[in-house]
């Protein structure tokens, strides 16, 4: 991971995390003012958008949170647009990454809480009605710990991001006994059509070696019609199915070509089921 340099550019708005005491586990909105290398490591000069009186900071791209810890990626792209399920009406018309939030939070959901001009990462410890929840910040050394009452309007679902996989919605254990609870995602992620729509990271096209692409398939396949009742959503589901079939046919054809070029003791015969066991 530490050898991968994300494709960030000068002038781009990003989020950066902090390991400083008092701000551990927090994400800040920034603008990249400069990118440079020093001793084979990449550095970013950042302007903190929500702290106009703060001087620009220089951050190393990969840093350790504590002594002996692994290196963490300190920057990620601007957070996707957030909306609720009843606000999504036309999946095909989405032009930027959109995070569709479920109607209500549950205990155990992974969230970010907007407080003091930054986002604090933690989990929902208690649902206190329709307007408030209790957020438990991640414990030391990755967070500041403690529980706080937070308005629901200031809470968003947490997301994971990496240069390889992009944005992903992490799953969490929900229920009174979290270890025995069910896996749940409190939101769905939808990408524009030109980025190959992804719901909960299910299907993703990735460039490999330039022009070559491959599909990565997860265990489940949530459909666009689960998010929208529009006809376009059903059409997009059919298009994804056709793409999957073409991809599978190409793999089968490639394997058949390879097998025909080599000596094999296997002979394909059509299967005729017997009328009796």
Say yes or no: 63 and 85 in one domain. Answer: no
Last residue of a domain, one of 55, 77, 99: 77
Quote the percentage of the chain above a pLDDT of 90: 37
Task: Tell whether 73 and 88 lie within a shared domain.
Answer: no
Q: Residue 96 phi/psi, 5° resolution?
A: -145, 160
pLDDT category at 225 given cuts 50, 70, 90 is: low
User: Residue 72: is it exposed, middle or buried by C-beta count within 10 angstroms (0-12/13-18/19+)?
Assistant: middle
Residues forming beta bridges with residue 28, ordered by sequence position: 16
pLDDT of residue 141: 81
User: Is there a single domain that holds both residue 193 and residue 156?
Assistant: yes
> Of the candidates 157, 228, 221, which has an alpha carbon nearest to the alpha carbon of residue 186?
157
Span 103-150, pLDDT tens digits: 788 999 999 999 999 999 999 999 998 899 999 999 988 889 999 999
Q: Which of 63, 30, 35, 73 is nearest to 161 (CA)?
A: 73
| Domain span holding position 141 | 81-226
Sign of CA dihedral 124, 126, 127, 133: negative
**86 and 218 assigned to the same domain:** yes
Residue 43 DSSP SS3: strand
Residues 118, 35 within the same domain = no
Mean pLDDT over residues 237-247, rounded?
68
Total structural domains within the chain: 2
Residue 148 lies in a domain: yes
Quick: pLDDT tens for 34-68.
Answer: 999 998 889 999 999 999 998 999 999 998 877 66
Tens of pLDDT, residue by residue over 61-100, are: 998 877 667 888 999 999 998 888 777 655 566 777 888 8
- Torsion of the alpha carbons at 163, 169, 171 and 175, rounded to the nearest 10: 150
Evaluate whether residue 2 is within a structural domain.
no
Last residue of a domain, one of 40, 61, 77: 77
pLDDT of amino acid 142: 82
What's the whole-model pTM score? 0.65
Inter-residue contact 16 to 31 (CB < 8 Å): no
Residue 216 pLDDT: 40
Q: Please determine, for residue 270, whether its predicted confidence score (pLDDT) is greater than 60.
A: no
Q: 71 and 98 in one domain?
A: no
Which residues on adjacent β-strands are paired with residue 216? 204
How confident is the model at residue 13, as a pLDDT?
96
Q: What is the CATH number of the domain that holds 54?
A: 2.30.30
Domain end position, chosen among 208, 226, 244: 226
Whether residue 174 contacts residue 109, with contact meaning beta carbons closer than 8 Å, is answered with yes
Q: For residue 270, give both structure tokens.
A: 């059509």
Average pLDDT score over the chain = 75
């Amino acid at each position: 991971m530490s050898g991968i340099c994300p494709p960030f550019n000068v002038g781009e708005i990003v989020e950066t995390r902090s390991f400083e005491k008092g701000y551990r586990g927090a994400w800040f909105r920034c603008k990249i003012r400069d990118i440079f290398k020093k001793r084979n490591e990449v550095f970013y000069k950042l302007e903190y958008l929500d702290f106009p009186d703060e001087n620009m900071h220089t951050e190393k791209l990969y840093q350790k949170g504590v002594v002996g810890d692994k290196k963490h990626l300190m920057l990620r792209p601007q957070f996707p647009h957030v909306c609720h399920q009843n606000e999504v009406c036309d999946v095909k018309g989405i032009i930027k990454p959109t995070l569709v939030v479920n109607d209500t939070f549950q205990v155990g959901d992974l969230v970010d809480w907007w407080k003091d001009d930054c986002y604090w990462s933690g989990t929902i410890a208690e649902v206190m009605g329709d307007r408030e929840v209790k957020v438990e910040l991640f414990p030391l050394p990755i967070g500041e710990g403690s529980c706080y009452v937070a308005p629901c309007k200031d809470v968003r679902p947490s997301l994971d991001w990496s240069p390889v996989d992009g944005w992903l919605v992490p799953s969490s254990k929900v229920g009174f006994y979290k270890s025995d609870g069910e896996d749940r995602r409190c939101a769905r992620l939808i990408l524009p059509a030109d980025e190959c729509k992804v719901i909960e990271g299910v299907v993703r096209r990735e460039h490999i070696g330039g022009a070559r692409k491959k599909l990565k398939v997860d265990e489940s396949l949530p459909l666009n019609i689960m998010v929208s009742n529009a006809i376009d959503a059903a059409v997009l589901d059919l298009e994804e199915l056709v793409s999957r079939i073409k991809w599978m046919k190409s793999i089968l054809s490639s394997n058949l070509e390879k097998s025909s070029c080599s000596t094999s003791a296997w002979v394909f015969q059509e299967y005729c089921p017997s009328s009796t066991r």
